[in-house]
Amino acid sequence: MRILLVGAGGVGDAIVKIAASRNFFEEMVVSDYDLSRAERSIEWVHDRYGSAVARRFIPAKIDASSAANVAEVAVEHRITHVLNAVEPKFVPTVFSGAFTAGAHYLDMAMSLSEPHPDDPFHTPGIKLGDQQFALNDQWERSGLLALVGIGVEPGLSNIFTRYAADHLFSEIDEASIKDGGNLTVRDEAGNEIFAPSFSIWTTIEECLNPPVLYERERGWFTTRPFSEPEVFEFPAGIGAIECVNVEHEEITMLPQHLDVGRVSFKYGLGREFIEVLQTLHKLGLDRTKPVRVRSAQGPVEVAPRDMVVSVLPDPATIGPMMTGKTCAGVLVTGRDKDGKDRATYIYHVADNEWTMANYESQAVVWQTAFNPLIALELIAAGIWQGAGVMAPEQFDAKPFLDLMSSAQGYGQAWYAQERVPSSPLRHP
């Protein structure tokens, strides 16, 4: 297996660091538009593991906005699998470039959505991932696998839901993905600052778009941003956090392959974060279309969202300033194998202190990064096989979770915590 990693930002850097201790691949080409970022990740591997290990990692410059350039780099290095770790706005070009090069493909975020032009808060337009799933036949005929949405959310959350369907439940009323943490970022003076732990470009996209939900009787529908607030008690000392509906890929993915009554995604953003996002929207700073800006050097064209990204701290660099934990999981409700009401929260927690001590990566990006590597390892071993545009829940969850938690694997414990069932919504 020869892997082309597209993007050496926070998640890409963590992928390189985790991959250095695994032996399932022959070579990983670490590529980025900024070559120095790829070289910096490989230098970390050299310092930690020595030159023999570092030789398996090759730096390369790439333009993720060009499908032709992605294909060119993939062909040059005889790549078998392209792993996309850049902003989701580049999904179409990296996805296309991998196909042109005859390489298999993986990503952690899917093609972007477009709100319904006339009724955005009730009716979906183009949903997340629709553009990729529409090309399933093309990939299937070519014998190529595009494993989409294999990060932590989507990705691990999908696998947890598949595990619940296979092993814990006879009927699922709802799969509600719940994401929350008690992460805090402070400046050098110890003052808490606004510094999102994941790409603010992506955060704006998924939080300000109309959230999509799914119900068996209604199909897919939308609501207003930050709808249906609820307080959810997160484990591992994180505590109670208000969670709200957010647009996310799982809602598009899970109902296509699993029999679920309802699917939702709720993010524990916190009141301050929501207010900041709402302010950005009111000021038009969430827009992606460039506007003309006067400057000392003359007029320039700038996309407001790109400007916001530029003035906030890079999520890849805030690990040393961060404390706390992040939790990703899914609350599954329904009936157990004996037909009794059941509610189980299946989750994984990443502690920033641990990820920084062991990988010099902050917790949120690190928690995302190990999932595509586990998938690639299962593919390399022939345990996961397929062709076409496929989602994580289409594969057997148990080998993934076994490799994830085993000491010889990735050493990451996951938990199934029983909750008190509360008046489950029954579906015929």
Domain-wise residue ranges, the chain: 2-151+366-405, 156-363+413-419
From 89-98, 126-135, 318-327, 374-383, the region with the lowest mean pLDDT: 318-327
* CATH for the 2-151+366-405 domain, from 3.40.47.10, 2.60.40.10, 3.30.565.10, 3.40.50.720: 3.40.50.720
213, 244 Cβ separation under 8 angstroms: no
Residue 331 is predicted with a pLDDT of: 98
Distance (Å) of CA 194 to CA 31, 95, 191, 275, 366: 29, 33, 10, 12, 20
Residue 314 is predicted with a pLDDT of: 74
Residue 130 is predicted with a pLDDT of: 97
Section 372-378 average pLDDT: 98
Q: How confident is the model at residue 428 (pLDDT cuts 50, 70, 90)?
A: very low
Q: Which of 63, 83, 64 is nearest to 19 (CA)?
A: 83
Strands (E), 50-126: 57-61, 81-84, 104-107
User: What whole-number distance in Å separates Cα of residue 127 and Cα of residue 125?
Assistant: 6
Section 130-142 average pLDDT: 98
The better pLDDT of the pair 243, 300 is held by: 243
Tokens (6 digits) for 118? 């006339």
390, 154 Cβ separation under 8 angstroms: no
> What's the pLDDT tens digit per position in 8-65?
999 999 999 999 999 999 999 999 999 999 999 999 999 999 999 999 999 999 999 9
Instruction: For residue 302, give the 3-state DSSP assignment.
Output: strand
- Tokens 């369907």, residue located: 165
pLDDT at residue 423 greater than cutoff 70: no
Tokens (6 digits) for 321? 């300033």
77, 100 Cβ separation under 8 angstroms: no
Q: What is the dihedral of CA 365, 23, 144, 367, to 10 degrees?
A: -10
pLDDT at residue 70 greater than cutoff 70: yes
Residue 289 is predicted with a pLDDT of: 84
- Interaxial angle between packed helices 397-405 and 363-380, expressed in degrees from 0 to 180 and rounded to the nearest 10: 120
Architecture of domain 156-363+413-419: 2-Layer Sandwich (3.30)
Residue 275 is predicted with a pLDDT of: 84
Q: How confident is the model at residue 167 (pLDDT cuts 50, 70, 90)?
A: very high
376, 409 Cβ separation under 8 angstroms: no
User: What whole-number distance in Å separates Cα of residue 79 and Cα of residue 256?
Assistant: 30
Helix, strand, coil percentages for the chain (3-state, nearest 5): 35, 25, 35
**Those residues with Cβ within 8 angstroms of residue 412's Cβ, 6 or more apart along the chain or in another chain:** 348, 370, 404, 405
- Scored b (16 or more CB within 10 A) or e, 215-227 reads beeeeeebbebbb
Q: What percent of the chain has pLDDT over 90?
A: 79
The better pLDDT of the pair 46, 289 is held by: 46
Instruction: For residue 23, give the 3-state DSSP assignment.
Output: coil
Residue 413 is predicted with a pLDDT of: 97
Residue 197 is predicted with a pLDDT of: 67
> What's the pLDDT tens digit per position in 172-223?
999 999 999 998 877 888 887 776 766 777 778 778 899 999 999 999 999 9
> What's the pLDDT tens digit per position in 209-229?
999 999 999 999 999 999 999
pLDDT at residue 427 greater than cutoff 60: no
